[in-house]
Structure 1
């Protein structure tokens, strides 16, 4: 499941909207919407994201969150390490190979490292 798919599913449940109802309003099949929620389809289009925001009736921060999550929800990621140190390529390949073995604690620790690096780069 992708972060976007998980959040859409949560919001649908909170609002009592079925997958079939939402798919019909969006003009997609329930199978497509289910695949999108479960990460079996690529990143949604801008038009679909806007439709989801409209159907779910979200505004402001929740709408921004859905747009951000959609951008971060491509289930097949490519990491370009061309021009970087060999350690970067090694790390990217190890992460790709071993991501399925990581725990929630591991994800939280790696996310904290990335957040720290992002804040450092903003300075």
Structure 2
């Protein structure tokens, strides 16, 4: 196979690994990986200190995001996430943070799946 101009072997291997991982993802998880989550309020609970604990749930994949808010609604600290099964890569894949090229591979995986399900338009 011919090498892509400006690509080194490490990048090509990364594209292969990310592409293979993306093809194995459940379509709902793949959409969240590509488009980001579709957060919806799940519940909020008043805390002893007058602040709030708020939980958001993704309507596509089921991941959950837990936020702590002060009494004025300002975020306190960083949110904690509970990811849906299959959202995170297996430990042996060790993908780390996805970069812009990785996200491009996810977009292509979504398009390829959509096109596989949609029948071709009739020829004119």
- TM-score scaled to structure 2, two decimals? 0.27
Asked which structure has the greater CA Rg, the reply is 2
Q: 1 or 2, which has the higher strand percentage?
A: 2
Q: 1 or 2, which has the higher helix percentage?
A: 1
- TM-score scaled to structure 1, two decimals? 0.27
